[in-house]
Structure 1
Amino acid sequence: MELTATDVWVMASAALVLLMTPGLAFFYGGMARAKAALNMVMMSFVSIGLVGVVWVLWGYGMSSAPGFLGGIVGNPAADFGLSGHVGTGDLIGIGFGATFAIITVALISGAVADRTRFSAWTVFVPVWVTLVYCPLAYMVWGGGLLSADGAIGRTFGEAIDFAGGTVVHINAGVAALVLVYVLGRRAGWSKGFHRPHNVPLVMIGAALLWFGWFGFNGGAAGSVEEAGLIWVNTLAAPAAAMLGWMLVERIRDGRPTSIGAASGVVAGLVAITPACAALSPLGSLALGVVAGAGAALAVGLKYRFGYDDALDVVGVHLVAGLIGTVGIGFLALPVDGQGGGLFYGGGFDQLVAQVVAAVFTMAFTAVLTLLIALAIARTIGFRVSEEDEERGVDLSEHAELAYEFGALGGLAADGERGPTADAEAREGASV
């Protein structure tokens, strides 16, 4: 079997998407407080290891094999270990799919910074991917409930989700919201309580995410024409979203920020993910502006409703994911003169399909994530102790520090370790 240009592109795209998870680790690590930076990075990196194993053993089968349970999930035993695919070209696409599962669960981690037990996270990741991500991926992309062949898809129409508006971003955003309520707020949490400790690292992470996102969106392109449209849209939407976020900051706060620019880029990337092959470049600009401005306004809701979403996963991924998914119903281009969004004369059919898929995803993810989170919280415990939270999860969970300054030991900013750190903490860091 000869290696085709399509095979090479999918392999390259898979590598780009895999790079996004270390990029996310830097993005979140820079946004975290200094005493939790390594823990934040580790939560992303361990997701690669855990999901990579799950995907080979049963995850791929659950997301794509012939389904059961009314089209909710694929058969986990059908492709166990992927041995049946050795010697075929299938493994290229299988690897590409694995990278999506990895980054989806890693996205959730930013919401629960500073207070999560690492052991609990290592339990949550494989269970959540198995019970939430894989079934949803099957329902949307594998021919299940939400697809054109599924009961919901046949009834309300098939929703467009090219690269993961429902499966990745709404899914991760809802799971993040559930976890922050289960874990509760950090001690002393209030507006202005948490400031990123390393803004340049955040910008580097955002750059890596944007770079990898061209593979994230473009990896499944079916033609040169579609690939070109996806590439331009993946440039246009986050560019416009960055400007939209910065404009909100300028009007609301008096000045734009680097964190706002980076977050706006991510919000635009999130919004264009499901729509990248369905919108014109002009439509992508419009979607990006709305997503950037909408997410910038949404991140402040956590103070109004009292949920401690540490790194704004809900405000960026859930809100921008909803804007992108529902926005398709307004902005989708007609295909061969048929259908399209409301603004192109396509009527309400596509809009209804998009809303139904989004609502179903939120309900499905919320219920199952809550059950998983409560089970972990009430057995092994999900949250570190108050003492460990004050000390810092880098020390309590990993016996490491992100920064060492000789005998001084750490950073004094934001209530973290400083020159007068106690001897016990020093000994723990050296273990």
Structure 2
Amino acid sequence: MKPANNIIVIFGASGDLTRRKLIPALYHLYKNNQLPDKFAVLGVSRSELDDASFRDAMRQNLIDKENAGGTTLDDFCTRLYYQSLNTADRDDYGKLVPRLDALHAEYQTGGNTLYYLSTPPSLYGIIPACLAAHGLNSENHGWKRLIVEKPFGYDAQTARELDATIHHDFLEHQIYRIDHYLGKETVQNLLVLRFSNGLFEPLWNRNYIDYVEITAAETIGVENRGGYYDGSGAVRDMFQNHLLQILAMVAMEPPALIDADSMRDEAAKVLHSLHPLDAEYLKNNLVLAQYGKGEINGRAVPGYRQEKGVAPDSSTETYMALRLQIDNWRWSGVPFYIRTGKYLPLRFTEVVIHFKTTPHPVFNQRAPENKLILRIQPDEGIAMRFGLKKPGAGFESEEVAMDFRYADLANNNVLTAYERLLLDAMKGDA
């Protein structure tokens, strides 16, 4: 079922996320006939653009990066609009009221509006308050939904304060705190794999699982995000959101229902069960590092401290490895190894479940390791590795794989993470 007609308002529309992810995601949804019959996108930022220049910029990006073209691209771009606005100035939001009124009337949306904050986190509390000051949070005419993505606060205290600030202007059912990693097909499939197959759930515990690895490796540095990254680091940028969320999905108990509240409840139980990360524990179970200057594929690359926007004496970590323990009945004694970093040899994100080996080597050799591998990116899929007899005389075993790749599906209409999250938000699926 398609979502209801609506206007999508993107704050930070001249930024990198809008260009690389949000507009391409909306274009693909439109191309695949998954958006409502009547919708429009209103880009908002400080940059002095108009509708025509915004459309031209987005069109060229879609041609260059997505190989888009034809009447589909033309029709999509006619739905793109732009409003220059000082997002930190409450009075300036008065410009949005007549602009949105006109778009709602033209596209017959009934007032339905999706706000996406593709902005620096410092504006997460300001924009909702400015919208509310002009009545743009009111659901008297259509729904109003607000999407915010990480980083959501700097620490627990600031996250709570930001949550309270947003709640002053938007109700809980209007707020969508998203993690785009959870929109990836393999992450979503993890729940189906676990809870719809009688094969795996009896084995999904400390009796059969030896250890679990969750890895997010990048082959790039901080690029043009040095200023932001130097205030966060690998722990805040990747671990405390994406990787902890994946860990919770791997380790959670079966929810009573597959809905937002039930899922959050079970994920929270896992996080509450994590062994306390006090100084003594971290001293023996945490590794932090920072990349230095060097050469990659014959190309000289700067060290982290030489990156633009990074302090020359910065101690911000660009790599972290942490061994976690979950102190509950299911997982006691099973280590979870979490790793993430930049400028690593390979780019991939995956979860590997390592099952225990057989207690006795019947064939006079170490039994092959049984592994369940969930590839989150770039080659999304699931593989199971186990031992079989090598052809020929004797009983020598070798490790083989049963491998499923989404790319091999004949009808491969897999949604990207941002496509799924935008579509779910339009449908009101939290």
Normalising by structure 1, we get a TM-score of 0.28
Higher-RCO chain (CA-CA 8 Å, sequence separation at least 6): 1
Normalising by structure 2, we get a TM-score of 0.29
- Going by fraction, where is helix more abundant, 1 or 2? 1
Task: Give the number of the structure whose alpha-carbon radius of gyration is greater.
Answer: 2
